[in-house]
Amino acid sequence: MIDPNLPSWTQPRTERPRPLSSLVRRVSWAFMAMLSSAVALVSYRYLAKAGPVPVTIAANAHVNPWLVIHATGAATALFVGPWQFLPVLRRRQTAAHRMCGQIYVAGCVTGGTAALVLATGVSAGPIAGTGFSLLGIAWIAATIFAVREILAQRVSSHRRWMIRSFALTLSAVTLRLYLPTSFQLGLDPVLSYRVISWACWLPNMVLAELYLTFSNADAIP
């Protein structure tokens, strides 16, 4: 217990969880924003019908028109998402933050809904289909929970759900890192796709929960 009558140097210290350093947060945010923007711009090629479609994706039974719908929604969420975590946007440009948030939510719901349809048509079987289906469900759910919390003015909880939502949005980035890696390693494409359907998002969720547990989620970046 702290005694107000004693000098401050004699008072017991109150231990507080140490947040990630400001530099680490900024570097991490910049790296995340760079990867997200790059993948978003590449994904928009499906909308423009430019460039080849990967074999594993082209083999999907529902590739038309759902691939374009999914890519457009997910790419938009990827492009907008990182900027929502900037304190300067949240605090000084609230109207812009709100508008970008609405665009992000629309991208997530659109991309997630299309992902659920595409998951039923994957050529790699039910293991991959289940992985992508659960990703779509979790992605939509986390985003809706974030909206619910901000409508109830529970800002801290809203930010935590937005971190979870964007961790799932980033599965588009990890997916595109894993696919060419498995190809370069000469791994079986069907087996790799089944593994990647889970690996592209489960580790993201684990990292998000670790971040929420051990850092100050309100101090971003």
Q: How confident is the model at residue 15 (pLDDT cuts 50, 70, 90)?
A: very low
**115 vs 12: which has the higher pLDDT:** 115
How many angstroms separate the CA atoms of 196 and 214, rounded?
27
Instruction: Evaluate whether residue 5 is within a structural domain.
Output: no
> What is the 8-class DSSP label of residue 49?
T
**Which residues, other chains included, contact 185 with Cβ-Cβ below 8 Å and sequence gap of 6+?**
none
Q: What is the pLDDT of residue 133?
A: 97
Instruction: Evaluate whether residue 104 is within a structural domain.
Output: yes
Q: How many CB atoms lie within 10 A of CB 27?
A: 12
Q: How confident is the model at residue 220 (pLDDT cuts 50, 70, 90)?
A: very low
Nearest to 129 by CA among 70, 69, 194, 73: 194
Highest mean pLDDT out of 45-49, 112-116, 190-194: 112-116
Omega cis (within 30) before 221: yes
**18 vs 193: which has the higher pLDDT:** 193
Q: How confident is the model at residue 19 (pLDDT cuts 50, 70, 90)?
A: low
Residues 62/117, Cβ–Cβ less than 8 Å: yes
Mean pLDDT within 138-149: 98
Quick: pLDDT tens for 74-90. 999 999 999 998 887 77
- For the domain that residue 64 is a member of, what is the CATH number? 1.20.120
Instruction: Evaluate whether residue 182 is within a structural domain.
Output: yes
Instruction: Evaluate whether residue 72 is within a structural domain.
Output: yes
How many angstroms separate the CA atoms of 167 and 215, rounded?
16
Element spanning 181, H or E: helix 171-184
Instruction: Evaluate whether residue 159 is within a structural domain.
Output: yes
- Domain count for the chain, please give it: 1
Percentage, residues of the chain above pLDDT 90:
59
pLDDT at 180 over 60: yes
Instruction: Evaluate whether residue 48 is within a structural domain.
Output: yes
Quick: pLDDT tens for 118-142. 999 999 999 999 999 999 999 999 9
**Is 52 strand, coil or helix?**
coil
How many angstroms separate the CA atoms of 1 and 4, rounded?
10
How many angstroms separate the CA atoms of 94 and 209, rounded?
27
Instruction: Evaluate whether residue 179 is within a structural domain.
Output: yes
How many angstroms separate the CA atoms of 199 and 202, rounded?
6
Task: Count the residues in the chain.
Answer: 221
Per the structure, the complete domain to which residue 187 belongs is given by 20-214
Instruction: Evaluate whether residue 111 is within a structural domain.
Output: yes
**Which residues, other chains included, contact 170 with Cβ-Cβ below 8 Å and sequence gap of 6+?**
32, 36, 78, 204
How many angstroms separate the CA atoms of 147 and 158, rounded?
7
Q: What is the pLDDT of residue 21?
A: 66
Nearest to 172 by CA among 153, 196, 150, 191: 196
> What is the 8-class DSSP label of residue 185?
T
pTM of the model: 0.83
Percentage, residues of the chain above pLDDT 70:
88
